[in-house]
Chain A
Amino acid sequence: MTFLPEPLRLLAFVVGIIAFVALNAAYLVWLERKVAGHIQRRIGPKEVGPFGLLQPLADGLKLMSKQLLVPKGIDPYLFKVAPLLVLVPAVMSFVTIPFSENLVARNIDIGLLMIFAFASVNVMGLLLGGWGSANKYAVISAARCVSQNVAYEIPMLITVITMIMVSHTMNLNEIVMQQDGNLLDWYIFRLSASPLMPVAFLIFFTCSLAETNRAPFDLGEAESELIAGYHTEYSGMGFGVFFMGEYANIIIGCSLTTILFLGGWQSPLNMAADGWLAILGDGWWWFLAKVYFLIFCVMWIRWTYPRTTLWGLLNLSWKYLIPISLVNLLVTGAMIKLWPLMKTFLMGAS
């Protein structure tokens, strides 16, 4: 990718990212419906195209052809800006995500911080959409979303701080490169950094579920209580943009989890090979495989568990996740100082 002059390279990447996000948003819907179908002992879409693969196209056409209803009494700016505030930050966050060693739009040194800065704008979108809709259900939903998002950002950020302490950098590509090697070098298994690493992974994954308002934390959108929550009043493509934004956020969440804990684009086998065996080496295919595996888990969880109550949700965060992540932080800090000593002790002893 170095043969293009810099601005053009960036442009190519951005176009590629938008295409990637759009394609994913469309086909993750298909995947969700198939996964849901098979978990529920039915097939899912199968009529439109082979295996229902053209279903997202049909859905897109349907959404675009619907009248964009703008109810009376809404706040015109907030109502129209809200869906964009959900979709655009997610797309922008992709700029720093390394798909492989060289496939990064912009390898920013504070990439991790930038992603979280953008992710916080997501909740603004939900709040404005709910408030601007002039619909009581939407307002309740927006209030719930805000309290949920605030509660779950905290353990997420504490866990990220822990990872930064371990990796000494906020550059995402470097974090992945530090997990070079085989399966056991991935941070999730790096018990020398902190014996609570797998717990940190679970906390981070749960928080990313809660941040994206996915079941079992989908109180904001609780279908059977609030009709459709913050996006009740949106029709046609307005709803479509919210939808795409939700899936884009899921991809970001899973990508971050992969990069921080599961080794990003690193292969689990420590080999450099040539020819067709190169597929077993590091590369963007491993990144995508891991991300899609996590997305599958996200969908799996959605269709298996019922919804938590508001108190259960907030209690889980404030009473369990935050203390555990703080303990993890302390333990990691201790291990960073103590591990070299322990290593010399163990080396000396053996």
Chain B
Amino acid sequence: MSDLARSQNQETFVLNLGPQHPATHGVLRVKLTMDGEYIAEAEPVLGYVHRMHEKMGENRTWAQFMPNTARLDYLGALSYNHGYVKIVEQAMGIEVPERAEYLRVITVELNRIASHLLWFGAFVLDLGGFTPLLYAFDDREHILDLLESVTGARLTFCYFRFGGLYNDIDDDFITGSRAFIKRLRKRMPEYHDLVTKNVILITRLKDIGILPAEMCRKYGATGPVLRGSGVNYDVRKNEPYSVYPELDFDVPVYSECDSMARYMVRMDEMEQSMRIIEQALDKLPAGPIMPEKVPRMLKPEPGDYYSAVEAPRGTFGVRVVSDGTNKAYRLKLRSPTFSNLSLFGEASQGMLLADALALMGSLDLVIPEIDR
């Protein structure tokens, strides 16, 4: 037991925020040792959705593993697609046509907005505000319809291919995206008026769940969690890939380190994603979406490679050890939420249960991604 628990010298009891719980989005179990309403110790227990994707990566060819990437983080599936195709293209030196790169960026950013909208609804739901969820889902429906018309899936996209994409877009997609951005631009001020400026929400989020930048560094937290603590690190800017260098966008960084900061980072990120999509739509060149010659059997040079992309939840890293065959020798998926959740044990000590749940919501957890 931790020092806090021992020093209290009172009766503590163990409360199980069980695998089935409305607030632990997914199947996460947290063993809480409670001292009244305060948490003496919190220990997340994982593994309820563990499917051993990494072993599957070793038993499937490179192309056969593509659908698995979508099942990791089903809310931001396109970023995971991107991380995976990027490393193979990097290892084999495959050139991606420019049109494909732009389309990749557009779809990934649409996916990011969809993921953040769902996080927004679910987070406020955790705090007791039942209504914004439905408005967020309404907006999300438009994105999912757009993406469905192009990729054929609403949630678990398997759209990217090594070297490009498998399907090109049509004009309906472009007009639909622009219409959607206009609609969301009108909606965001409503969200800010009704939710962000709500006195009750501000009391629940301000100065709750402080995660200092040093703690984030020690635990390897990335993404909005890190940017809410004042560290300006976004893979799209610091380690540019695809066509992000040619697009003009800001990286929102807030230095208060509390749940409100992380909330604002994600809200602003939605705005920035809209900017990216608009610019990409304007600059979209004509051309092919797959290179002319892609080897049928992908056999990267032996060696190990690493690649990272900015998923909605943080840095999604892929480490691949290739032995020159058509299957990976070792495929490691570095999930951002895994590292983000690992700091929950230390950060939640001494907090009220309600505040700890606000902290957990602001970490934006998707359990299948943690468990892989």
A and B touch in the complex (CB under 8 A): yes
- B residues 111-134 in Cβ contact with A at 8 Å: 124-131, 134
Q: Which of the 9-residue segments A126-134, A161-169, A188-196, A216-224 touches chain B?
A: A216-224
Docked-complex contact B355 and A225, CB < 8 angstroms: no
Known: A140-B37, A216-B128. A227 touches B200 (CB 8 A): no
Docked-complex contact B124 and A227, CB < 8 angstroms: no
Give the complex CA separation of A304 and B132 in angstroms: 9
How many residues does chain A have at the interface if contact means C-beta atoms less than 8 Å apart?
A: 29
Docked-complex contact B23 and A225, CB < 8 angstroms: yes
Docked-complex contact A305 and B204, CB < 8 angstroms: no
Known: A136-B13, A136-B15, A310-B352. A305 touches B37 (CB 8 A): no
Docked-complex contact B134 and A225, CB < 8 angstroms: no
Is there a chain B Cβ closer than 8 Å to A9's Cβ?
no
Is there a chain B Cβ closer than 8 Å to A72's Cβ?
no
Docked-complex contact A306 and B352, CB < 8 angstroms: no
Known: A36-B130, A218-B128, A224-B128. A309 touches B352 (CB 8 A): yes
Chain B contacts for A39, CB-based, 8 A: 131
**Most chain B Cβ neighbours within 10 Å, of A42, A227, A303, A309:** A309
Docked-complex contact B134 and A307, CB < 8 angstroms: no
Give the complex CA separation of A218 and B128 in angstroms: 9
**Please, what's the 1-or-0 string for B4-21, where 1 marks a CB less than 8 Å from any CB in chain A?**
000000000101000001
Docked-complex contact A310 and B37, CB < 8 angstroms: yes
**Most chain A Cβ neighbours within 10 Å, of B126, B128, B353:** B128
Is there a chain B Cβ closer than 8 Å to A308's Cβ?
yes
Known: A225-B354, A227-B22, A309-B354. A41 touches B134 (CB 8 A): yes
- B residues 166-223 in Cβ contact with A at 8 Å: 194, 198, 200-201, 203-204
Docked-complex contact B200 and A306, CB < 8 angstroms: yes
**Please, what's the 1-or-0 string for B329-341, where 1 marks a CB less than 8 Å from any CB in chain A?**
0000000000000
Name which residue of chain A comes closest to B138, CB basis: A41
Give the complex CA separation of A137 and B21 in angstroms: 12
* Nearest CB on B from A170, distance (A): 35
Is there a chain B Cβ closer than 8 Å to A312's Cβ?
yes
* Nearest CB on B from A54, distance (A): 25
Bin chain B's interface residue count.
20 to 34
Name which residue of chain A comes closest to B129, CB basis: A306
Known: A137-B15, A310-B37. A304 touches B128 (CB 8 A): no
Is there a chain B Cβ closer than 8 Å to A237's Cβ?
no
- Which of A144, A227, A305 is within 8 Å of B129, CB to CB? A305
- Which of A227, A307, A311 is within 8 Å of B128, CB to CB? A307
Docked-complex contact B353 and A42, CB < 8 angstroms: no
Docked-complex contact A216 and B126, CB < 8 angstroms: no
Is there a chain B Cβ closer than 8 Å to A270's Cβ?
no
**Please, what's the 1-or-0 string for A127-164, where 1 marks a CB less than 8 Å from any CB in chain B?**
00000000011001001100000000000000000000
Give the complex CA separation of A218 and B194 in angstroms: 20
Name which residue of chain A comes closest to B24, CB basis: A224
Give the complex CA separation of A39 and B201 in angstroms: 19
- Which of A143, A224, A303, A312 is within 8 Å of B23, CB to CB? A224
Give the complex CA separation of A98 and B46 in angstroms: 59
Docked-complex contact B37 and A312, CB < 8 angstroms: no
Docked-complex contact A309 and B204, CB < 8 angstroms: yes
**Please, what's the 1-or-0 string for A170-211, where 1 marks a CB less than 8 Å from any CB in chain B?**
000000000000000000000000000000000000000000
Is there a chain A Cβ closer than 8 Å to B135's Cβ?
yes
Give the complex CA separation of A39 and B352 in angstroms: 31
- Which of A42, A219, A222, A306 is within 8 Å of B124, CB to CB? A306
Chain A contacts for B127, CB-based, 8 A: 224, 306-307
Known: A140-B37, A216-B200, A306-B198. A225 touches B131 (CB 8 A): no
Name which residue of chain A comes closest to B133, CB basis: A40
Known: A305-B198, A305-B200, A308-B203. A222 touches B134 (CB 8 A): no
Docked-complex contact A312 and B125, CB < 8 angstroms: no
Name which residue of chain B comes closest to A305, CB basis: B200
Is there a chain B Cβ closer than 8 Å to A252's Cβ?
no
Docked-complex contact A303 and B134, CB < 8 angstroms: no
Give the complex CA separation of A227 and B13 in angstroms: 18
Give the complex CA separation of A223 and B133 in angstroms: 15
* Nearest CB on A from B327, distance (A): 43
Known: A308-B204, A309-B352. A303 touches B131 (CB 8 A): yes
**Please, what's the 1-or-0 string for B271-297, where 1 marks a CB less than 8 Å from any CB in chain A?**
000000000000000000000000000
* Nearest CB on B from A63, distance (A): 21
Is there a chain A Cβ closer than 8 Å to B357's Cβ?
yes
Give the complex CA separation of A144 and B200 in angstroms: 18
Docked-complex contact B357 and A312, CB < 8 angstroms: no
Chain A contacts for B124, CB-based, 8 A: 306
Docked-complex contact B131 and A304, CB < 8 angstroms: yes
Interface of B toward A, CB cutoff 8 Å:
13, 15, 21-23, 34, 37, 124-131, 134-135, 138, 194, 198, 200-201, 203-204, 352-355, 357
Besides the contacts A41-B138, A144-B37, A307-B127, what 9 more A-B pairs have beta carbons closer than 8 Å? A136-B13, A222-B128, A223-B128, A225-B353, A306-B128, A306-B129, A306-B200, A307-B204, A309-B352
A-B pairs with lowest CB-CB distance, top 4: A307-B128, A306-B129, A40-B134, A306-B127
6 contacts across the A-B interface (CB closer than 8 A): A36-B130, A42-B134, A223-B128, A224-B127, A225-B357, A308-B200
Interface of A toward B, CB cutoff 8 Å:
36, 39-42, 136-137, 140, 143-144, 215-216, 218-219, 222-225, 227, 303-312
